Each structure stands twice: as C-alpha cells, then as structure tokens.
Amino acid sequence: MDRRAFIRRSLQVAALTAVGGLPCLDLQALPAVAADPPLALRKGTDIPRLVRETVAALGGMRRFVKPGETVVVKPNIGWDRTVELAANTHPEVVREVVLLCLEAGAGRVRVFDRTCNDPRRCYRQSGIEDILREIPDKRLRVEHMDRRAYHELVIAGGVKLNRWSFYRPALEADRFINLPIAKHHSISGLTLGMKNVMGVIGGNRGVLHRGIDQALVDINQVVHTDLTIIDATRILIANGPQGGRLEDVEVRNTLIASPDIVAADAMGTTLFGLQPTDLPSVVAGARRGLGVMDLDRVKMV
Amino acid sequence: MTGLRRLRIVCQLGCLLGFFWLFVATEYRGLDELPYPVSLLFRIDPLAALADFFAPGAFAWQLLWPALLVIVATVLLGRFFCGWICPLGTTLDGAGRLLKSPGGRSRPGLRKIKYLLLLALSAAALFGVQVFGWFDPLSLFLRTLTFSLYPVYNLFANRVFDFFYDHHLPLISDLVNGAYPFWRDHLMAFQQPVFALGLFTALVFLAVLLLEKFERRFWCRNLCPLGALLGLCSRHALVRREPASLCSDCSRCQSACRMAATGSDGHARSECVLCFECTEYCPAERVRFGFHGREGSGQVDLRRREVVTALAVGALVGPTASIAPAAASADSYLLRPPGAVAEDEFLRRCIRCGECLKVCIGRALQPAWLDAGPLGLWTPRLVARFGYCEYNCTLCGQVCPTGAIRPLTLEQKHKTVIGLAVLDKDRCLPYARNEECLVCEEHCPTGRKAIVFEQKQVLVQSRIKILKIPRVVGKLCIGCGICETRCPVEGRSAIRVTNENESRRKRDGLA
C-alpha cells in the first residue's frame, strides 16, 4: 500500500464511520524510498522541446501516468506577477507537461494552486490559465481551489506538524506532478519542489515559517510527489519568492526532473551555486527518508 | 393608454434587472478594466451631480453629463425617473403590493419634508458638509445590496451548495456540485463578502420598506431628496394630465394614486411619476396624458418661512460639523482607498454608495460607522487586518461615480501611498520571541521591497542562532497592508498600516 492508497483508505474509513475523529496518517509506517533515483537535467531555449526531452530521459510520461488515471499538475501560481518576473512556473512548461499527461492517456488532469495574491489575478497574470484554456480537451481542468475540499488529517510521527488540513483532490489523485519554479526564498533559502507542495495545504500557512524545514518534510510525506520537474527556464535569484524586478531574474533555460523530490531539490540548489547541504529542507528530507540528497548517488539520465 | 402602463412596468423591471446585472458584473472577472461597472447608474443620478457640483474643484462634465440629460428630460416630461427607472421606486412598488399599503393622501403635509430636506442638504453642501449620499435613493439601494443583501444571498447560496457537497445525495448532489463552479464564477462573489455595517444598513432599508405600510411610496412622496429635485424640475413639465383636477362625480384618483398627485386641489406635476395607473382605473376612462390641457394647481406649497428655516438648518449644521477635530488626525489607522482625494474633499465627494467596497478584490474596504467622524458614516475605510489592497488592482478608482477616489493607471497606483506599515516589536515574532518569521517580507509586493530583513545573532537557550529580523523601509512602503493581513500572529497584527505618509494628505514640502 502506498501513501496515497493509505490516505484514501483512511479518508474512506472516516467517512464511513462518520464519527468526530480525524483520519490519522502514521508517517513512520511509510515505506522508505528506492535508492539511486534517476534524474534528468536538460537545457534548451525551445520550451516545449525541452520539456519533452527531459521527460523522455526519465522514460517518458507513460512511466508516470497510466491510462485513465487522475493526475494533478501543481505549478507555482502563487503571485500576481507576469511571466518574465519569474515568480510563477512558466506557462509553456505547464502546458507541455499537461499535454504529455493527456497524451499518456490520463483520465483527468487537474491544475490548481493555492495562491498568495488573489487567485483570479494570479491565474490570469501568470499566463497559465490562458494558455491552458487553449487546450481543447475535456479531461483538463484549470480550477480554483474549492474551499470546501480541505480535509484535516492527524499526522502521527510528524516532527513539526501533528495535524493540518490538506487539499483532498491533491491527496486523492492517482498521480501528483510537481512543477515548481526555482526561486530564492527569504525564509526557506530557496523554494523548489518540496516548498511548492505548500500550495495544496490549507490552514494559516504563515505560522509554518517557524521551523519550516521539518514542516516541509511532514507535508511532503503526506502528499507524495510522483514526478518533480523544476522549471529553471528563468530563476529568481533575489527578493524571492515574489520578486517583481527584472534585475533579480536570470535566464537559465534549464529543467530538472526526477521522481525523487529530494534529489530534484538537491540538484536545484546547484542552480544558485549552492550545495544540497546548504538547503535545510533538503537535508531534513534526506534524513527522514523522503529521498536522496547525495548527488553522487543520483543516476543522471 | 394601457399600453403605456404595461410599457412602464416592463421598463421598471428591466431597469431593476439591468441594475442587478450591473451589480453582479461589478466584480473582477479576469479583466483589469471593468467594462460594465454599476457606477454607470450614478452617471444618470442628478443628486450625484448636485453633490459633485458643490464639491471643490471642477464639475466632472465628462462623467456626469447623462445626469444633466435626465434633468432636461424631467423639465420637459416630468418625474418619469421615479416611476420608470429608479430601482428603489420599483422595489417600493413591490413592497407596497405585499404590505397592501393604502393609496390616497392621508398626510399631505409630509410631502414638504423632501423639499426641505433637499434644501437643507444643499445648504449644508454649500458650507462644506455633503451627505446627499445618506438619502440618495440609488446610494441607499446600492449600499443595502452591497453590505447586506448580497452577502446574505452569498451566505445562503453557499450553505445550499455546501449541504449537497457534504451530504451526498445521488443525482441531486452531482447536479448541484456540477453547477457550483459556474455559479461561483459568474453569479456569486468569489469570496464571501463580510461587512461590518450589514445589519444596520439592512435595518435602514427595512424601515424605508415598512413605511409603505402607512402610504404607498411613502419614501418617494415624502422623504426622497432626489424625488424633490426632480419634482422641482418638473413643476412646469409639458406632459399634462387631463382632467387637471378631480371630477365632480368621482374621486377615485384621490384615493388610488400611488403618489397622491391628484387631490381636491388638482393634479400636481411635481408629484406625478407618470405611472399612468389612473388612465386605467378611471371608471369613465376620462384620464389622458398629453402635451395639451390646463396646468394643474395641486403643487406642494412651500412657505417662505419653511424654506428659510431649512436653508438655515443646513447652513448651520455644515459649519458646526466641520469645527469637529479631523478624525484622521487622531486615528492613525483611518486609511482610505488608493487614489482617494484629501480627507476634506473626500467627504465632500463620496456619496456613500458602497461601490468601491463591492468591487474591492482584496476585501480590504469596510464601511465606516462613526470611526471616521460623524459625517463619515458608510464611507470606505481600508482595514488591512481583514484584507489588503491588491498591488496590481485599480478597480475602486474605476467604479467611484463622483471622483472621491480618482481612477489611477497601474503605474500611478504603484506609487500611490495609502499609508505606512509600522512594526509592533512587542508582538512581532523575531523581535519579541526570537522566532523565525518573515511572512510580511515575503508578501511585500513593491519591486524594491519595502520590508527588508537584517540578520542578527541572538542567544536562544544558550545557543547562538542567526535570526532574520524584518524592517520597514519608509520611503518604499505604499501601505497596501498585505503584511498586516498575512501576519500570522493571532488577533491584532504585529505590523499595522498607519496613515502616515499617505499621498493624498496636503503637507508642506520638506526636501
């Protein structure tokens, strides 16, 4: 039983018994990750091609998405900022990943993020809503978060969190594809894959900034990412995570992808001239068995 | 003539529906510029034009010329606005039906009140106190919708949707859940509106409705200053009613007219709203409207003494209210929307319609009670703990019908200072408890951030820890308040926006 099945089962049990208790998830009971995860790093200016090459290096989208499955694609749409300001995932990256999922036969592809600015403005300004609306496929849904779909979970074995609300569609999907943009972040150092998962949790996220590294591991152990693709076509090197100045943006034309979120984040640190050990969330994630941070143990594909 | 009556009812309902449509359309739905804001309605409101006329600065011709057209049309035709267009009038007609209000002229003396009110309001406006908006029927209607009815509608609608979401009923739930996204995106507020004066505003509206119990269109007959203004304009209107007085064999008009425009003293064109109901209920089918016929004699008789008294009351109240200390100088937290003109002029321009509050995307604006001074009732104030001013949004200036909030370009908006954020070091986590937190810095939207941090070594449980400590850069802060909204400290925020530095304040130029 994987994490997702585990959560779904617990939610179902809770719904069936309909008692006041909360579904409980025991992080210590979760299986450890496989060693030597594959990781792809590609460069190129033609974004659709770049996405396809990167995913192909990992064995193609069909390795991650099986026909009929419900897939959540979770870009960063956090801010009311235009594409060139590098605060949100590049819309073309999102579109290409969505197309790959659809081509792999996904039954449904859902795209959403819990934004920081007004959600409607962020969806528009990021360019993501508009570019996805052009895809004429009924299986694709670009949707705002439904305030009713957050579900509180008890997290046994959580280091920082023992209870938090999560967005159910993200938990219940068959596949979760994480599409962060690589950015500087004043509190967590950098925001990469693990931090991007904060976009599918409820509650007052501001309080997580006290001890954010362990909190991120807790969250990521609840929401399992099947594939992380870090958008580094352009990155924000300062004033993150929101940015707002072109001076803080650097064009890198790079994508990093791995089924191992810690490995992807570990590689992501090198974009900023750092070591994986410099990012506390990566260290905490590796220590708690979320993934592999030692880039020597990562299989470059 | 029954055709005219039917046309009138269709027109009334059409205007009301159009009004609702404009109201719902006055929300951000993906476009930075609103194509159909409900403020269009105020462009035909002569009372808004009058308020603007008395306000300092040039008259906003380009905005308010349709109101002048209404005046001209009223001079020619009569008070058609009240009978055919006004959404409050239509609502009162409906309420009158439900409450079975008596027709006729039970208290003829009360009709003067509206003229005296209009005179008093005008005199007060001349002396610097403009509160037309408290009584303007369009403002009254719109702010009731905004503060009370629309939030309640959203509450109910959400309850219904939530019920079918939480309790899965086969078929029905799927249908309702399927309709929810469309409903939410097009027919509801994106987020539940929350307003402080919801109950009070609703009670005022309810009182206006309940007055129907005494007389039909009690408000329009006796109280409405817009009705009075249009009545004054239509005293010599060209459309005349025949017969111009009661017939000797029948006095049906005296008891049936909704405006009590026809009585023993004849037909009063300043009171008639051209509903054409009398063409129908006249048993002898004698009543005609046309451009011929005698002038009726039943005008409302305003005594000179009453006029002088009303003007004097207005002229006295104005200066008396303006000698009160300015609310903003004592209350550092009185913030106005971006683009608002200086406080004195702001109060003289704002007609308390509540439109800026309706459209505010960040739910930052709240109606003031007495906290913006006694004359500030229902004016918008920005309460940053509840919501913040969205950096790239310029909607409130777009919808303001009287220029109390100037329309800003995005570039101007980015430079308009609402206030200055100030940290409360006794509550801010890094300062007060040596805990990590930079939520304010993270959310600060200005390109060069107005909240920066400094690294500092602190001793936590005998271990040295590097802590990031936020600091506000006064010259860069525009007072949008997102830091105050998002501050994770419970209750009052540990960073609060004060009205220091606000762009609209007149101050001496210090280099």
Q: Report pLDDT digits (tens) over A109-135.
A: 999 999 999 999 999 999 999 999 999
Q: At what angle do helices B198-210 and B87-99 cross, to 10 degrees?
A: 60
pLDDT of A185-243, one tens digit each? 988 899 999 999 999 999 999 888 878 999 999 999 999 999 999 999 999 999 989 99
B85/B232 same-domain check:
yes
Question: For residue A142, which phi and psi values (nearest 5 degrees)?
Answer: -100, 115
Chain A partners within 8 Å of B448 (Cβ): 245
Contact B390 A121 (CB under 8 A): yes
Spatial distance between the Cα atoms of B70 and B75, rounded to a whole number of angstroms: 9
Model ipTM?
0.90
Candidate from B29, B445, B468 with C-beta closest to A242: B445
B403, pLDDT greater than 80: yes
Is the Cβ–Cβ distance between A247 and A227 less than 8 Å?
no
The verdict on B284 and B425 lying in the same domain is no
Q: Do A241 and B468 touch (CB under 8 A)?
A: no
For the record, the structure tokens of B17 come out as 């529906």
Interchain CB distance below 8 Å, A206 and B392: no
| B445:A209 CB<8 A | no
Q: Which SS3 state, helix, strand or coil, does residue B52 take?
A: helix
- What's the rounded Cα separation, in Å, for the pair A286 and A21? 32
Contact B488 A116 (CB under 8 A): no
Please count the other Cβ atoms lying within 10 Å of the Cβ belonging to residue B355.
Answer: 28
Check CB contact under 8 Å for B30 and A120. Answer: yes
Among all chains, which residue has been given the structure tokens 């008009």?
A: B253
Q: Which of B296, B275, B271 is nearest to B220 (CA)?
A: B271
- pLDDT, position B1: 47
Which chain A residue's Cα is nearest to B192?
Answer: A147
Closest CB from A120, A206, A244 relative to B28? A120
Q: What is the rounded distance in angstroms from the CA atom of residue A142 to the CA atom of residue A113?
A: 10
Q: Do B362 and A118 touch (CB under 8 A)?
A: yes
Cα→Cα distances A17→A12, A22, A172, B105, Å: 9, 11, 19, 67
Rounded to whole angstroms, the Cα distance separating B435 from A256 reads 33
Distances (CA, A) of B467 to A240, A281, B111, B433, B470: 18, 17, 71, 11, 10
C-alpha B359/C-alpha B26 separation (Å) is 6
Q: Could you tell me which residues of chain B have a Cβ less than 8 Å from any Cβ in chain A?
A: 28-30, 162, 165-166, 180-181, 184, 190, 361-362, 390-393, 429, 435-439, 441-449, 453, 468, 486-488
Which residues in chain A have Cβ-Cβ distances shorter than 8 Å to B451?
none
B431 vs B444: CA distance, rounded Å: 19
pLDDT at A13: 65
Is B56 part of any domain? yes
Q: Domains along chain A?
A: 3-300 (3.40.50.11440)
- Structure tokens belonging to residue B7: 């046309």
Look at residues B290, B305, B334 and tell me which one is the last residue of a structural domain.
B290
Q: What angle do CA A51, A56, A57 make, to 5 degrees?
A: 105
Taking only the tens place, the pLDDT of each residue in B330-373 is 789 999 999 999 998 999 999 999 999 999 999 999 999 988 88
Last residue of a domain, one of B258, B290, B322: B290
Q: Mean pLDDT, to the nearest integer, of B82-105?
A: 88
Map residue A108 onto helix, strand or coil: strand
Residues 6 or more apart whose Cβ sits within 8 Å of residue B330: none
C-alpha to C-alpha distance for A114 and A91, rounded to whole angstroms: 17
Identify all chain B residues contacting A204, using CB atoms and an 8 Å cutoff: 488
Residues B228 and B118: beta-carbon distance below 8 Å: yes
When computed from its CA atoms, the radius of gyration of chain A, rounded to whole angstroms, is 18
Strand, helix or coil at A97?
A: helix
Residue B437 sits in a domain of what CATH number?
3.30.70
Number of domains in chain B: 2
Short-list B353, B439, B274, CA closest to B37: B353
The count of other CB atoms within 10 Å of the CB of residue B179 is 13
Residue whose pair of structure tokens reads 């309420």 in the numeric block: B95
Contact A116, B362 (CB under 8 A): no
Q: Please state the rounded mean pLDDT for residues A241-253.
A: 95
Whether B107 and B254 share a structural domain: yes
A–B interface: beta-carbon pairs under 8 A = 77
Which alpha helices (DSSP H) does B323-369 contain, by range? Answer: 327-330, 343-349, 355-359
Q: Is residue B105 part of a domain?
A: yes
Residues B283 and B424 in one domain: no
Whether residue B65 lies inside any domain: the answer is yes
Other C-beta atoms within 10 Å of A37: how many? 20
Specify whether the CB–CB gap between B333 and B496 falls below 8 A.
yes
With b for 16 or more beta-carbon neighbours within 10 A and e for fewer, the B239-275 pattern comes to bbbebbbbeeeeebbeebbbbbbbbeebbbbbbbbbb
Structural tokens at position A128: 């993501």
Which residue range forms the structural domain that includes residue B460? 419-503
Which of A161-165, B41-45, B101-105 reaches the highest mean pLDDT? A161-165
Residue A121 to chain B, least CA–CA distance (Å): 7
What's the Cα-to-Cα distance from B128 to each of A167, B63, B156, rounded to whole Å? 54, 22, 42
Are the C-beta atoms of residues B418 and B382 closer than 8 Å to each other? yes
Q: Answer whether residue B472 shows pLDDT above 90.
A: yes
Spell out which residues of chain A touch residue B393, defining contact as CB-CB under 8 Å.
118, 121
Closest CA to A229 of A113, A76, A116: A76
> Among residues B152, B180, B187, B154, which one has the least CA distance to residue B166?
B180
* B320 lies in some domain: no
Q: Average the pLDDT over each of A22-31, A259-268, B379-388 and give the range with the smallest value.
A: A22-31
Each residue of B377-399: pLDDT tens digit?
A: 999 999 999 999 999 999 999 99
- Residues of chain B with Cβ-Cβ distance to A146 below 8 Å are 180
Q: Is the pLDDT of residue A14 over 80?
A: no
Pick A186's closest partner by Cβ from B181, B446, B468. Answer: B468
Q: Residue A189 is encoded by which pair of tokens?
A: 């150092």
Chain A positions in Cβ-Cβ contact with residue B487 (cut-off 8 Å): 206
The chain A residues in contact with chain B (CB within 8 A) are 80, 116-121, 124-125, 143-144, 146, 148, 185-187, 204, 206-207, 209-212, 239, 241-242, 244-245
Q: Which amino acid is it at B156?
A: F
- pLDDT tens sequence across A183-199: 999 888 999 999 999 99
Residue B334 lies in a domain: no
Within this chain, do residues B279 and B426 fall inside the same structural domain, yes or no? no
Can you give the pLDDT at residue A33? Answer: 58
The CB density around residue B470, as the number of other CB atoms within 10 Å, is 26
Indicate the helix (H) or strand (E) that contains B288: strand B288-290
B72 is a domain residue: yes
Question: Given B243, B271, B290, which residue is the final one in a domain?
Answer: B290
Residues B176-223: pLDDT tens digits?
988 998 888 888 999 999 998 999 999 999 999 999 998 899 999 999
Q: What is the pLDDT of residue B256?
A: 85
User: Do B425 and B286 belong together in one domain?
Assistant: no
Tell me the C-alpha distance between B218 and B120, whole Å.
Answer: 20
Q: How confident is the model at residue B36 (pLDDT cuts 50, 70, 90)?
A: confident
Min Cα separation A36/chain B (Å) = 34
Q: How far is CA A126 from CA A49, A84, A135, B71, B127, in A?
A: 21, 9, 17, 47, 50
Contacts of B446 in chain A (CB under 8 A): 244
Q: Are B442 and A117 inside 8 Å of each other by CB? A: no
What is the tens place of the pLDDT at every residue in B269-300?
889 999 988 888 888 888 888 887 777 666 77
Encoded amino acid at A226, one letter: D
Quick check: helix, strand or coil at residue B353?
coil
Mean pLDDT along residues A275-301: 94
Query: Which residues, 6 or more positions from A46, have their beta carbon under 8 angstroms from its beta carbon?
Result: none
In this structure, is residue B256 part of a structural domain?
Answer: yes
Of the spans A211-215, B151-155, B507-511, which averages the highest pLDDT?
B151-155
> Cα torsion for A262, A264, A265, A267, to the nearest 10°?
120
Rounded to an integer, what distance in angstroms lies between the CA atom of residue A133 and that of residue A118? 19
| CA atoms of A168 and A182, how far apart (whole Å) | 26
Mean pLDDT over the full length of chain B: 90
A61 close to A96: Cβ distance less than 8 angstroms: no
User: Which helix (H) or strand (E) segment is B2 a member of?
Assistant: helix B2-25
Q: Tell whether B285 and B432 lie within a shared domain.
A: no
Rounded mean pLDDT, A91-105: 98
- Give me the count of residues in chain A: 301
Tell me which residue has tokens 């004054």: B232
